[in-house]
Structure 1
């Protein structure tokens, strides 16, 4: 199932990453159909221990080409970890690696040596070896978007032995290896000569965009194998696959296949609303799909219900178009507009319990801000809570005046804004409406409307807005600089075709002086040592707090509904990955793989 607030960074993202929204609306016939098809006992055939989940898959339309994650069956869900585990998971709290399919990874100068665990098997009986890894890495070097970090910076690949591959990087920096080490390996037996061709092309210097790659890519993205060969503790049971549910069965020879405690994992088909109904019926053990505030209350009456909490690393706020509304270039105006908003109320209406208020306004979520700054440093950060008197004071200081209940800009024009949400993204729609009400009530004429959900990224990038409900922070990149890539660079190309925010990245900071934010993002990302990275990071956070280039309103908090005592005995209270983003190494799926979840004894 696809949660309906999509990925905050790019338009061509994985549907697994279309994150964060509330599900609303009646279940309708489809919801009733799901409930009918899913009703049944607590165990699988022959009394097999069963774990159940839900996702909005499409058995017919989605391919089995797992190397092209978008559009591949279940690859955009948390359940992919069960049949194609990652090489390792990155702990967002400790910033350390815990290895899964990989035994280790180590830097030797500019070379990253990646080593598989010995004895790994594919579900077709073949060995999972460095040959798979070598071919995978070569394909990813060709296919990874050129703007991404990791594979595009690989200059050489070499298979060292049966288990190890060497990847040489161009100017490596801390964190550049993230996507390489995490890579989800796909089988060489599935992809025929694609792997060998990719190895040869990479060795010859071919990269994305070259003519040779274009020909390769055209074939590769159209490739659709009959089945998904798996490496994890579960594999697809072809006899138990239907439009209503997919059954994954234990694969004893797969990674951790003898350690997992459930014989089957059943993934029911359902969208956000249907998933909520299934949870209320006791059919679902755990779901990562969005739930409405009303459904959140209904869950509390379900026997065995509990929330599994996952922290958020981004939030919802307002992005300005400084070219369309030049009065917003005055920082006092931006701060005033922020003070008009009750972020706690807006978050509660938009997300029910699944949000947290903003405390520091640093551009990073508060969890990360507290990891970067000391308590004494944080004491100096300005807060922008609901304060109508302060808002009026700031506007007056900026030369605005109020006549007959209407605020006028310093140029004497009646102030007004159009704010856009996105149709079908419930939390965005509700946030836009509440901002409209707050600003109108204060005397700033504001109109909210929703743009179509098919391509809001194009609208944002083109600068076809005055004020837009938009993400801040970053749920995709665990390194701190990711938040400022999002806040400062995304939708801010400054070109004729993609002006986006039209925010000047060379700014004057009250405390930091003249600052080039684009250079600081690059330094925070690529500096050769953490001290230099941290210094750039702190500067950007301070500048964000002082200048408030966009307004953070609330932070995502992910509350995943779960049932204990029906099929699952209990869920772990702690896990090494429990501070990870919910769709990036989900700690419940990892606990399942690692034997940390057990069935109710029959």
Structure 2
């Protein structure tokens, strides 16, 4: 298996979480004031219209209406996308079951996946939403899917069975390979009339990404920018109420749940992390998933009706080493020592305020996931890395390091030193990098922190242009446990000349597990035919992660979304069957809105 099967898609998606500018409430600038003046009071007009309000940093001019491309399309990087362009289904991260939206169901018939739509669905232009839309949308995605992905790249052929059903033929499918298909956003066959049918013919003729026929098709497709977005969800765009300051979605009665949603309109104000926090403080926003600074979190407490909505975290922030650039970290004792120097609680509080949780088990999985596959007794055997500088010094000395005049030296006599990179504009990454710098310096290891530009840190990480990088661990995109290990071990670890990344050898010697091929184990966990086989692979990888610590987990994301009750929204649900869903993938608040479970304040 290729060492970085999900890297590009995963990392682009993670860029959407660029998380926080750590700016205090006292630093209101002209940009923030402009947003407030543009938006303030706008939701009180036409009092008979019920509105739900949110915020996202959209750009009407630069973002395309070609919603099939997703990245760079208008609002497709926001949680509000499900309101106007529904997925086939939403995954329940707690029960690992599906809640169907546009789809009525799916079933396997041997190596064939049969996917069926709900009957009587319509697009916002009044046309029928049927199997033609579905099969052509699937074909375009298959044509574009890189070979290292999961789901669409493994589709061999496509067939429309009837007006509501499509067959997708696979070769050697494995459990949950259908996830990307069920979560795919079907697009209008009319909008994509010039592309969908051609894509279907090419896919069934064996054409795939990178082939000459695909390149010719793609040259036209990337330039395609329709005038409007045809919607399938309970809301559609109101072109007359779209401006640089706000977008208004109005009820789409022909769409899925269009007559069931309780709000007539959804208004999305324009704002980045800082501006969104100001809008919450002004009472303009009912719910925001943009990340506020620690100072803004405190300021929210004075907002009448304010409450936090917590979304479960399945990934976190930590340290990724470059084993080629700094050979000293190839010694596991050094990696563990560097972990013991750090105070994860302090770093998390400074970087995220209330929006973090500490790491307890260091199993490579979010603690909630580790506790699902291990017993409490088994987890007691895991090494924890709470700050212990005496233990850190002991490990470095065992590794042959020496300390003189307050400075640590490598076994060859050179002074130990590291450069730690954060990402400019990602406030939690910036603050984590500076705190690691301070902690290691105080311990006697010369450390310098700097930030790389936010436009392409993934390229820097993948190319190995770093010594130590603040980087994610775990996986917020993939509900299956193996996704965390794909991220931890294999992302930015291609090992090629052009993309050496971490340079961490995936053929390892584990003190308790012996010789282990981590790439092979990730594939075993992904393709396992039985739960027992998968569980064995997962447990082995968790144990190896804890023993060898290829990355240092420092803190875990706790996604706290500010919300305001009693102004436009009566109240938000506190505990729903989907409340453990990941915030950006299967947001339970947006699902509650779609299902008519959120109600406006009564006059």
Retained in 1: the 8 A contact 2:261–2:594? yes
RMSD of Structure 2 on Structure 1 (CA): 1.4
TM-score by length of 1: 0.97
Distance verdict in 2 for CA 1:64–1:15, change over 3 Å = farther
Within 1, Cα distance between the matches of 2:585 and 2:114?
Answer: 23
Partner of 1:82 in structure 2? 83
Partner of 2:524 in structure 1? 523
| SS state at 1:318 partner | strand
Partner of 2:293 in structure 1? 292
**Residue 9 of structure 1, CA deviation:** 4.2
Partner of 1:93 in structure 2? 94
Partner of 1:224 in structure 2? 225
**Residue 576 of structure 1, CA deviation:** 2.3
Cα deviation, 1:248-302, whole Å, max 9, x if unaligned, reads 0011111001110000000001111110000000000000001000000000000
Partner of 2:3 in structure 1? none
Retained in 2: the 8 A contact 1:11–1:458? no
Partner of 1:190 in structure 2? 191
Cα deviation, 1:114-159, whole Å, max 9, x if unaligned, reads 0000010101111100111011111110012322110000001111
Matched residue count: 595
TM-score by length of 2: 0.97
Residue 35 of structure 2 is aligned to residue 34 of structure 1: yes
Distance verdict in 2 for CA 1:46–1:348, change over 3 Å = closer
Q: Which segment drifts farther, 100-109 or 394-403?
A: 394-403
Distance verdict in 2 for CA 1:521–1:15, change over 3 Å = closer
| SS state at 1:308 partner | strand
- Give structure 1 regions of 4+ aligned residues with deviation exceeding 6 angstroms: none
Residue 340 of structure 2 is aligned to residue 342 of structure 1: no
Partner of 2:20 in structure 1? 22
| SS state at 1:193 partner | helix
Retained in 2: the 8 A contact 1:463–1:500? yes
Cα deviation, 1:531-584, whole Å, max 9, x if unaligned, reads 212211111110000011110000111000000000000001122221111100
| SS state at 1:432 partner | helix
Q: Which runs of 5+ in 2 are unaligned?
A: 1-5
Within 2, Cα distance between the matches of 1:586 and 1:349?
Answer: 26
Within 2, Cα distance between the matches of 1:31 and 1:117?
Answer: 44
Partner of 2:265 in structure 1? 264
Cα deviation, 1:429-474, whole Å, max 9, x if unaligned, reads 1101111111111111111111121211111111111111111111
Residue 399 of structure 2 is aligned to residue 398 of structure 1: yes
**Residue 75 of structure 1, CA deviation:** 1.0
Partner of 1:302 in structure 2? 303
Residue 164 of structure 2 is aligned to residue 166 of structure 1: no
Partner of 1:584 in structure 2? 585
After superposition, residues 3-402 of structure 1 pair within 5 angstroms as 9-10=7-8, 18-25=16-23, 26-40=27-41, 42-43=43-44, 45=46, 47-402=48-403
Within 1, Cα distance between the matches of 2:355 and 2:228?
Answer: 37
**Residue 28 of structure 1, CA deviation:** 2.2
Within 2, Cα distance between the matches of 1:13 and 1:394?
Answer: 34
Within 2, Cα distance between the matches of 1:422 and 1:55?
Answer: 21
Within 1, Cα distance between the matches of 2:86 and 2:309?
Answer: 22
Residue 441 of structure 2 is aligned to residue 435 of structure 1: no
Within 1, Cα distance between the matches of 2:387 and 2:88?
Answer: 45
Retained in 2: the 8 A contact 1:316–1:471? yes
**Residue 313 of structure 1, CA deviation:** 1.0
After superposition, residues 492-571 of structure 1 pair within 5 angstroms as 492-571=493-572
Within 1, Cα distance between the matches of 2:376 and 2:342?
Answer: 26
Within 2, Cα distance between the matches of 1:128 and 1:530?
Answer: 37
**Residue 42 of structure 1, CA deviation:** 4.7
Within 2, Cα distance between the matches of 1:488 and 1:16?
Answer: 17
Q: Which runs of 5+ in 1 are unaligned?
A: 1-7
**Residue 15 of structure 1, CA deviation:** 6.0
Q: Which segment drifts farther, 229-238 or 39-48?
A: 39-48
Within 2, Cα distance between the matches of 1:163 and 1:10?
Answer: 33
Distance verdict in 2 for CA 1:16–1:497, change over 3 Å = closer
Q: Which segment drifts farther, 19-28 or 517-526?
A: 19-28
Distance verdict in 2 for CA 1:213–1:523, change over 3 Å = same
Within 2, Cα distance between the matches of 1:23 and 1:305?
Answer: 21
Within 1, Cα distance between the matches of 2:21 and 2:579?
Answer: 24
Within 1, Cα distance between the matches of 2:13 and 2:266?
Answer: 21
| SS state at 2:351 partner | helix
Retained in 2: the 8 A contact 1:16–1:583? no
Distance verdict in 2 for CA 1:594–1:581, change over 3 Å = same
Within 2, Cα distance between the matches of 1:99 and 1:236?
Answer: 23
**Residue 10 of structure 1, CA deviation:** 2.8
Retained in 2: the 8 A contact 1:13–1:70? no
Within 2, Cα distance between the matches of 1:16 and 1:534?
Answer: 27
**Residue 44 of structure 1, CA deviation:** 5.2
Q: Which segment drifts farther, 16-25 or 363-372?
A: 16-25
Within 1, Cα distance between the matches of 2:384 and 2:90?
Answer: 35
| SS state at 1:561 partner | strand
Within 2, Cα distance between the matches of 1:58 and 1:12?
Answer: 23
Distance verdict in 2 for CA 1:11–1:139, change over 3 Å = closer
Within 2, Cα distance between the matches of 1:146 and 1:291?
Answer: 37
Within 2, Cα distance between the matches of 1:565 and 1:493?
Answer: 51
Within 1, Cα distance between the matches of 2:9 and 2:441?
Answer: 32
Retained in 2: the 8 A contact 1:85–1:184? yes
| SS state at 1:286 partner | coil
Retained in 2: the 8 A contact 1:358–1:555? yes
Distance verdict in 2 for CA 1:62–1:20, change over 3 Å = closer
Partner of 1:4 in structure 2? none
Retained in 2: the 8 A contact 1:174–1:530? no
Retained in 1: the 8 A contact 2:107–2:114? yes
Partner of 1:3 in structure 2? none
Distance verdict in 2 for CA 1:243–1:56, change over 3 Å = same
Retained in 2: the 8 A contact 1:11–1:457? no
Cα deviation, 1:485-508, whole Å, max 9, x if unaligned, reads 111111111111111111111111
Distance verdict in 2 for CA 1:50–1:14, change over 3 Å = farther
Retained in 2: the 8 A contact 1:82–1:232? yes
Distance verdict in 2 for CA 1:44–1:150, change over 3 Å = farther
Partner of 1:5 in structure 2? none
